[in-house]
Chains A and B, each alone.
Chain A
Amino acid sequence: MNSRHEQEKKQFKQLFQKEGVDAFEKRFKVLDCFLKTEQHLTCREITALLRKDGNDMDSDFVEETMELLCQFGFAHRVQFESGPRRYEHRHLGMHHDHMVCVKCGDILEFKDEVLEQKQAHVAAAYGFHMLQHRMEIYGICSKCLSTRELLMPLCRARQGETCIIKSFEGGCRAQMRLSSMGLRCGDRIEVVASQGGGQMVVATGDSRFAICHGLAEKIFVHHAPPEIDYDIPRISGHFPLETEEKIFLSAMKQGQEGIIVRVGGESVLRRRLMEMGINRGTRIYVEKYAPLKDPLELIVKGYHVSLRVEEAANIIVEHVKTVKHP
């Protein structure tokens, strides 16, 4: 991870100095601070973090810098629902989706190959050419869920949540009314709309019901897990991405092997690399670095080729492992 951040800092220096961006040193501090955390931060939070490190900066300046970072592809702007604008790291060639906890506001990153492929399949099936996609799952994180009471009045269920009716409190008349509407204990209901304190709309099967707040207080429900017909391994921790890390070729060590995911850089360089057979999906082996640590020697498609380290920083590799023979 750190080597990747070092790479990005290096690229930042190159790019911004070439572009002649003003206040370079200050902006570099912003980037540094931003890369240190792994969270999705708002401008205000970044400004506060900077202040903690003893860098007092104007929040407008920080915002401008973050926008610049987005513009140059070092950060990514994300906005969940109508929340404030947040920024996350942008690592080239890597895509991930988000889970947002509606209770504590925690944001989780995840990646699922099956899901990615499925999305592509679906799009293809509709003859739809997918350019990009955003996948956000809203819900309650495992931490919040564990502190939640299992049995709760329906009025506290969140919009979009699916619950199972456990019991009715209150008088006979209320029970009768609900039964006559067709709601019984053990039914699975979905909260379609919930305006805090007002009316709620729930649905079972194909029918909708409007329930006033008073009545909703009397219905006790259980949180219902989504119906999944297969087991998924529980992923713990915030960054499942680490398990299949992608790194820059320049960060690879002697004797390591990997598969190219992406060839970036200027058009001339990319073409030249591709002509020599260094393209996506190719297995690449780092034979050695020159005595002065630059250039490096690679084995690709059965022949030896040398590249400068700065050029190698345009190539992203995955499935990196140390092997004995190329």
Chain B
Amino acid sequence: MKTLTMALAGNPNSGKTTIFNNLTGARQKVGNWPGVTVEKKEGTLKWREHQLKIVDLPGTYSLTPFSIEEIAARDFILDEKPDVVVNIIDAANLERSLYLAMQIMELDRPVVFVLNMADLARSKGITIDAERLSMLLDVPVIFTVGNRDQGMDTLVETAIHAAQSSPGGKSGRKVKYNRDIETLISELIQVLEAQFHDHHPHPVRWTAIKLLESDQMVKKSLEELSPELEEKINQMAARSRSRLENIFHDDPEIVLTDDRYGFIAGIVKEVVTLSPRKRADMSRNIDLVLTNRFLGFPIFIFFIWAMFQLTFSLGAHPMEWIESGVGFLSARLDMLLPPGLLKDLFLDGIVAGIGSVIVFLPNILILFFCIALFEDTGYMARTAFLMDRVMHMVGLHGKSFIPMLMGFGCNVPAIMATRSLENPKDRILTILITPFMSCSARLPVYIILAGTFFGARAGTVIFGLYFTGIVVAIVSGRLFRSTLLKGQDAPFVMELPPYRVPMAKSLVIHMWDRSKMFLKKMGGVILVGSIIIWALSTFPRLENYTMDYAGEIEKITAQATDTASAGELLTPGVEPPPDMAEKISDLEKMKNQEQVAHSFIGTLGKAMEPLFSPIGIDWRCGVALITGLVAKEVVVSTMGVLYGIGDGESDALKAALKKSGMTPLSALSMMVFVLLYVPCLATIFTIWRETSAGWAWFNLVYTTGIAWGGAFLVYQGGSLLGF
């Protein structure tokens, strides 16, 4: 039994993913295309005696080598040679869809045309003569209605039939270009055939056309195949190009595009009949409200607010459960494991680390659900439409808005959400400035510090910090745009798809896929990161404490036992007197404090004191900032340890901070630093995954530099002004 590979291709919003989900159900896996961060979806299907591997190609309008999605789709068809390419066509949009279809047909694989959303087209009064279309192009054509699961059987059968009847690869009638162009194409074909004799890995006619279009990828592959021929062919192609330019006074690419559309217009005229049955267009009516001049923005702001409310308030409940679950687990482990290094590693390293990630799972699930909802209904494109003007001022695309906004929640999903941006430069830019959006993990730090030192004005200070983050993001954005990521921003040619009722199945799949990716990636890094930080703060072990803590604790316990009613032993279930517990925990905290001060991280913090002192931060806060690399919430708990207070006792910490000699100015400087410096390991790792190690390092250095500079300005400027 042979496995047949079936590739699904088509325009965005043509219902490709719906069909993919229908065919494969839950038997799918999501990954990336090799080398690029475009989602690659694969699934399997068993059909009678056939085993099918179904690959969902990225949705594109064309197969030019300008965007990574298009390159990924094209390379898959060219290199992997799928047994059949199923081209999903939005029946209501035949003319535009055929443009991609013509390009796919030029790639010489067996093709099946699927006219999807046939019901919608019918209701719009569009009738398509499938038989005639099939005859004209010599390609099997079928109708489906993806969201009602209609026509899937026919689809699979037709595809299998097409794959088996022409395994060599033959795909219907191709575009006939202008006579001048055809002459040049056949000249190039002759040379190519003379050289390669059928050994050319790609279809020859297609290669010739791409040479006329001066396609860099094709030129490169030709160079690899035969360097000596490459020069000759390139010269010939260049000559042909200049001839075409002379004749048509335009770029050959444009002329070819025009020709394709000419060919398509002819086909459409023959197969489509329009009946003037004008039904009320629901989608337009919805848009009258949602992108209305006056209502558009208020509604948009409401939706965003609702998304945040859902994410953070609804998410707070399961978050609590998970927290208590983690707490329970660590309590159990505390009881089960013998005291010692291993126990510390499990409790403070692994459990705490994993716990800190898993706690975000509800938030992330809800957030991704909302985003999937926005995307599947078609509202996402409208947000870009509404916000583009604003974002364009920063040199960004309207679609950058949602990721940046999500940054206020958590930077990690925000960075992953930049996948909706097509242009790689726009994406990198958005990724680089998103960390300046103050994420929710930074809030506890602000609350403690601002609450301690600014009292009633704390709210204003925190608002000011958020605002500073936005300003730094805008300034950095403009800076990068004019230096590192120079260049025209991508054209804002974006389809506004009709509104659709989302399918529950695809929403869930969408949400789960992305959350799974988040968990898989982040889990590992956080785990390693927390173990490292744990090790740094645990080693070297302090052998000689300034006092004998164990002895002291024993003494207290003994005292308590003595003072308890005479002769009566402490039995489990009888609470020890409260003052005893307090004393013991005080002693333990002091022990911890001494241990951390002595450890690598303490040494590191002290060594880095010269770096921190110009910005008014003492070594304890410095250490807290370093541990904050794992996650920003950790800053608060580290400060707790270093100032000798346990977790969750914010009042005590406030008092301790006040006593420690920290001034409002140095607190502000610290907050600015927390706002601006590297968000956390998970974010850095996400940046690495989504871009490259280089950009991740750059971001790390850049943000920390900006943070230090900002804090320096605040502290020194403030000191000069006499605060």
Residues of A within 8 A of B (CB): 129, 131, 266-280, 287-288, 290-295, 297, 301-308, 311, 325
Produce 1/0 per residue, B276-292, CB < 8 A to A.
00100001100100011
- Please give the distance in Å from B347's CB to the nearest CB on chain A: 54
Q: Is the CB of A301 within 8 A of B291?
A: no
Q: Does B492 contact A (CB under 8 A)?
A: yes
Which of B124, B392, B494 contacts A306, CB < 8 Å? B494
Contact across chains for A290 and B488 when beta carbons are under 8 A apart: no
Please tell me if the beta carbons of B257 and A306 are within 8 angstroms of each other in the complex.
no
| A291-B261 CB under 8 A given contacts A266-B488, A301-B95 | no
Partner of A275, one of B93, B257, B488: B257
Separation of A280 and B493 alpha carbons in the complex (Å): 17
For B339, what are the chain A residues with a Cβ–Cβ distance below 8 Å? none
Shortest distance between the CB of B394 and any CB in chain A (Å): 14
> With a CB–CB cut-off of 8 A, which chain A residues contact B329?
none
Q: Are B64 and A275 in contact (CB under 8 A)?
A: yes
| Contact (Cβ within 8 A) A308 B392 | yes
**Given A279-B257, A290-B385, A290-B389, 19 extra CB contacts under 8 A:** A129-B247, A271-B254, A275-B99, A275-B257, A290-B388, A291-B291, A291-B294, A292-B389, A294-B389, A297-B291, A297-B385, A304-B496, A304-B498, A305-B495, A306-B384, A306-B494, A308-B388, A308-B491, A325-B278
Expressed in whole angstroms, the Cα–Cα distance for A100 and B269 within the complex equals: 46
Bound complex: CA A287 to CA B126 (Å): 21
CA distance A257 to B495 in the complex (A): 19
- Contacting A at CB under 8 A, from B220-273, are 247, 249, 251, 253-254, 257-258, 261
Q: How far is the CA of A305 from the CA of B385 in the complex (A)?
A: 10
**Which residue in chain A gives the minimum CB-CB distance to B258?**
A279
Known: A275-B99, A276-B495. A295 touches B257 (CB 8 A): no
Interface presence of B96 (CB below 8 A): yes
Q: Which residues of B contact A271 (CB under 8 A)?
A: 62, 64, 66, 253-254, 257
Contact mask B50-83 → A, CB, 8 Å, 1/0?
A: 0000000000011010100000000000000000
Considering the complex, which residues of chain B in the window 556-586 have a beta carbon less than 8 Å from any beta carbon of chain A? none
Given A271-B64, A272-B493, A290-B291: A295 in contact with B388 (beta carbons within 8 A): yes
A152 to B457, CA, bound (A): 98
The verdict on B296 contacting chain A, using a C-beta distance below 8 Å, is yes
> CB-nearest residue of chain B relative to A299?
B284
Among A131, A267, A273, A305, which residue has its beta carbon within 8 angstroms of that of B496?
A305
> What is the CA–CA distance of A267 and B66 in the complex, to the nearest angstrom?
11
- A280's partner among B61, B258, B498 (CB-CB below 8 A) is B258
> Which residues of chain B from 486 to 502 have a CB within 8 Å of any chain A CB?
488, 491-498
- Give min CB distance, A96 to chain B, whole Å: 19
Shortest beta-carbon distance from B38 to chain A in Å: 18
Instruction: Indicate if the CB atoms of B99 and A277 lie closer than 8 Å.
Output: yes
Pair A311/B493 contact, Cβ less than 8 Å: yes
Provide a sorted-by-A list of 14 A–B residue pairs whose CB atoms are within 8 angstroms. Answer: A268-B66, A270-B251, A272-B491, A272-B493, A273-B491, A274-B258, A275-B61, A276-B495, A291-B291, A291-B294, A291-B296, A295-B389, A297-B291, A306-B495
B247, B283, B291, B497 interface centre (most CB from chain A within 10 Å): B291
**A140 to chain B: closest CB distance in Å?**
36
> In the complex the two chains form, what is the Cα distance from A306 to B492 in whole Å?
7
Q: Chain B CB within 10 Å — which of A268, A272, A273, A301 has the most?
A: A272
Note all chain A residues with C-beta closer than 8 A to B381. 306
Q: Which residues of B contact A270 (CB under 8 A)?
A: 251, 254
Is B492 a contact partner of A291 (Cβ separation < 8 A)? no
Q: Determine whether B297 belongs to the interface, using a CB cutoff of 8 Å to chain A.
A: yes
Q: Is the CB of B257 within 8 A of A308?
A: no
The smallest beta-carbon distance between B11 and chain A, in angstroms, is 9
Q: Does B390 contact A (CB under 8 A)?
A: yes
Q: Does B115 contact A (CB under 8 A)?
A: no
Instruction: Give Cα distance in the complex from A277 to B62, angstroms.
Output: 11
Instruction: Give the nearest-CB partner of B295 in chain A.
Output: A291
- Contacting residues, chain B, for A302 (C-beta < 8 A): 92-93, 95, 124, 126
Is the C-beta of B396 less than 8 angstroms from some C-beta in chain A? no
Nearest-CB distance from B388 to chain A (Å)?
5
Query: What chain A residues lie within 8 Å of B497 (beta carbons)?
Result: 303-304
- Residues from chain A with a CB closer than 8 A to the CB of B292 are 291
Contacts of A305 in B (CB 8 A): 493-496
Decide: A306 and B491 in contact? CB cutoff 8 A: no
Q: Does B416 contact A (CB under 8 A)?
A: no
Residues of B within 8 Å of A131, CB to CB, are 249
Nearest-Cβ distance from residue B183 to partner chain A, whole angstroms: 15
- In the complex, chain B residues whose CB is within 8 Å of the CB of A293: 389
Q: What are the interface flags for B367-403 relative to A under an 8 Å C-beta threshold, 1 for contact and 0 otherwise?
A: 0000000000000010011101110100000100000
**B293 contacts the other chain (CB 8 A):** yes
A282 to chain B, nearest CB (A): 9
Whether B96 pairs with A301 at a CB distance below 8 angstroms is yes
Min CB–CB distance A276 → chain B (angstroms):
6
Which residues of A are found within 8 Å of B488, using beta-carbon distances?
Answer: 266, 268
The 7 closest A-B CB pairs, nearest first, are A292-B389, A304-B496, A275-B62, A277-B96, A308-B492, A274-B257, A294-B389
Docked CA distance A132–B695 (Å)? 51
Q: Which residue of chain A has its CB nearest to the CB of B180?
A: A129
Chain A residues, Cβ within 8 Å of B261: 274, 277, 279
Cα distance, A73 to B390, chains bound together (Å): 31
Cα–Cα distance between A273 and B390 once the two chains are bound (Å) = 23
Chain B residues, CB < 8 A from A280: 258
> How distant is the Cα of A306 from the Cα of B284 in the complex, in angstroms?
14
Chain B residues, CB < 8 A from A297: 287, 291, 385, 496
Contacts of B99 in A (CB 8 A): 275, 277
Given that A275-B61, A276-B61, A297-B496 are contacting pairs, would A292 and B254 also be in contact in the complex, using a CB cutoff of 8 Å?
no
A116 to B352, CA, bound (A): 80
Given the interface pairs A267-B253, A307-B492, A325-B278, the reply to whether A276 lies near B388 with Cβ below 8 Å is: no
| Distance in angstroms between the alpha carbons of A311 and B389 in the assembled complex | 13
Q: Which residues of A lie under 8 Å from residue B496 when comparing CB positions?
A: 297, 304-306
Chain A residues contacting B398 (CB-CB under 8 Å) are: 295
Counting chain B CB atoms within 10 Å of each CB, the highest count among A131, A297, A302 belongs to A302
B285 to chain A, nearest CB (A): 12
Q: Is the CB of B491 within 8 A of A311?
A: yes
- Give the complex CA separation of A140 and B496 in angstroms: 56
In the bound complex, what is the Cα–Cα distance between A301 and B398 (angstroms)? Answer: 24
> How near does chain A come to B280, taking the closest CB pair, in angstroms?
11
- Other-chain contact of B491, A269, A277, A294, A303 (Cβ < 8 Å): A269
Residues on the A chain within 8 Å of B389, using CB:
290, 292-295
Q: Which of B280-329 contact A (CB under 8 A)?
A: 283-284, 287, 291-294, 296-297
Distance A325 CA – B125 CA, assembled complex (angstroms): 15
Residues from 71 to 114 in B contacting A, C-beta threshold 8 Å: 92-93, 95-96, 99
User: Which residue of B is nearest A269, CB measured?
Assistant: B491
Q: In angstroms, how far is the closest chain B Cβ from the Cβ of A281? A: 8
Q: How far is the CB of A63 from chain B (nearest CB, A)?
A: 29
The winner among B249, B258, B297, B496 for most chain A CB atoms within 10 A is B496
B248 to chain A, nearest CB (A): 10
**Bound Cα distance A266, B487 (Å):** 13
Q: How far is the CA of A299 from the CA of B658 in the complex (A)?
A: 64
Provide the residues of chain B in CB contact with A277, threshold 8 Å: 95-96, 99, 261
A274 to B388, CA, bound (A): 22
| Nearest CB of chain A from residue B254's CB, rounded to whole Å | 6
Q: Quote the shortest CB–CB distance from B461 to chain A (angstroms).
A: 31
Residues of B within 8 A of A266 (CB): 488
Contacts of B386 in A (CB 8 A): 290-292
A308 partner residues in chain B, CB cutoff 8 A: 388, 392, 491-492
